Amino acid sequence: PKGATDCIAEDRNEVSACLGLENELMAVPALLAVGAVHHYLIKQGLRTQVSLVANTGQCWSTHHFACLIGYGASAVCPYLALAHIRNWHATPKGKAKADGQTVQQCQENFQTSIVGGLKKIMSKMGISVLESYRGAQIFQSIGIHSSVLNVAFEGTPSTMEGLTFSDIANEAMMFHTRAFPELDE
């Protein structure tokens, strides 16, 4: 449609030499970013005109994909999971376990397993197409503060208060510091 565009939520910097991460910038958790942008676009009346893409290293399991799509992602690129498969395949042990498959075939196997897992999740909920699952927010929160829910996960029921934005920032800083220990000096 006229005016349609893509919005990419990305937690890496292409210029960086360390798996796309940059030590001066801390990544916002992908699900928080996707949920917040999704709700912002809804409030602006633009959601149906924008594809929201998550290009993240914080996604490697079916659950991660299900949450990102369920909170509005149109597409997910798990760059770190795919890089891990490439690195694993390059090792002697990885090549032996790959049983003659190329790295591309191993990555396709990962993608096939994720798609199969998503289909299983959706079928258990009676959902037959991904379009009906995208942005549906059919989750319940446990341990996330209402201030966070109101910004990024509006309408998600919660049984118990928990992590605030400060808690999430502290946890993100902990992971960032572990990735770049030189910053802690």
In the block, residue with structure tokens 């075939």: 105
- Those residues with Cβ within 8 angstroms of residue 162's Cβ, 6 or more apart along the chain or in another chain: 142, 143, 144, 145
Rounded to whole angstroms, how far apart are CA atoms 175 and 8? 22
Q: What is the mean pLDDT of residues 95-99?
A: 92
What confidence category does residue 184 fall into, taking pLDDT thresholds of 50, 70 and 90? low
Structure tokens at 147: 């201030």
pLDDT of residue 16: 43
Model pLDDT for residues 66-82, shown as the tens digit of each residue: 999 999 999 999 999 99
Read off the pTM.
0.86
Average per-residue pLDDT for the chain: 88
In the block, residue with structure tokens 């030189």: 182
